[in-house]
Structure 1
Amino acid sequence: MEQRETSTGTSAPACSISRVEHALGVLRGRWKLLIIHHLLVRQPRRFSDLEREIGQVTQKMLIQQLRALEADGVVRRIVYPEVPPHVEYELTAAGRALATALDALHDWSVQARHVDA
């Protein structure tokens, strides 16, 4: 991987803007990070559990966001052949790998709050 010099004089891996744009595209949307967070806390989850946990999201929007995450390989939809249908969602390996990034966002948020105070 390429290295670049930072403002502090140390070297860091060069960042490919196209990869960052792709990652942001996968996560774009008001609800996707919350869905991923809830699946990181406990999985698998039924649709109704996610709907209850993310109270402000509409059913239509939750379905759209889950389908998009599934299409991007972040979430896996598991359908059990029962009546009534039983559907659960879980993170794929790619989805679970987002835990590090979400932890970093959390830490940044805590630090930024203390800087502004």
Structure 2
Amino acid sequence: MSSSSATTQACSLIQEEFEQPCPIRDVLDRIGDQWSLLILESLAPGTLRFNELSREIGDISRQMLSRTLKRLETDGFVQRTLYAEVPPRVEYTLTELGQSFLVPMRELVKWADIHHARICQARRASKSG
């Protein structure tokens, strides 16, 4: 059995048993979007408020930042703390789960940096061939 079909079969069994999507696909779909990794890396040094996080990332819209933070909070990567002050203060910090993800995330980023030129070269060769 190929590793691809073994993974598909494992995902199907997990889905049937727990009525959840395949864990691999589920996690990669969530953290593989355009903004999640940048948000997680921005929160790595510590707690940030919404506007600080927005400035840190730069070119993300407020709506997209809010939406992505909510998804990361729902999945347990980020903790949102609301302080009952006037004006209200909201802070975001990585949870233990979010902190644990930094290690494999940084390895993936390092791998992408090392191999990006080869990937681009393969894409150009595929288009010209």
TM range (shorter): 0.7 to 0.9
1:50 aligns with 2:53: yes
What is the TM-score of this pair, normalised by structure 1? 0.78
- The number of aligned residues is 106
Q: CA deviation at 1:77?
A: 0.2
| Unmatched 5+ stretches in structure 2 | 12-21, 122-129
- Deviations along 1:11-66, whole A, 9 cap, x unmatched? xxx865522112112214211110001011x2110000111111111001100000
The 1-side partners of 2:33 and 2:68 are apart by 8
The 2-side partners of 1:67 and 1:114 are apart by 34
Q: Which residue of 2 aligns with 1:25?
A: 29
The 2-side partners of 1:115 and 1:29 are apart by 22
Q: Which residue of 2 aligns with 1:35?
A: 39
Higher gyration radius (CA) = 2
What are the within-5 Å matches in structure 2 for residues 25-104 of structure 1?
25-40=29-44, 42-104=45-107
Runs of 4 or more above 6 Å deviation? none
| Unmatched 5+ stretches in structure 1 | 1-5, 7-13
% same residue: 35
RMSD: 2.4
SS at match of 2:25: helix
Higher deviation after alignment, 87-96 or 24-33: 24-33
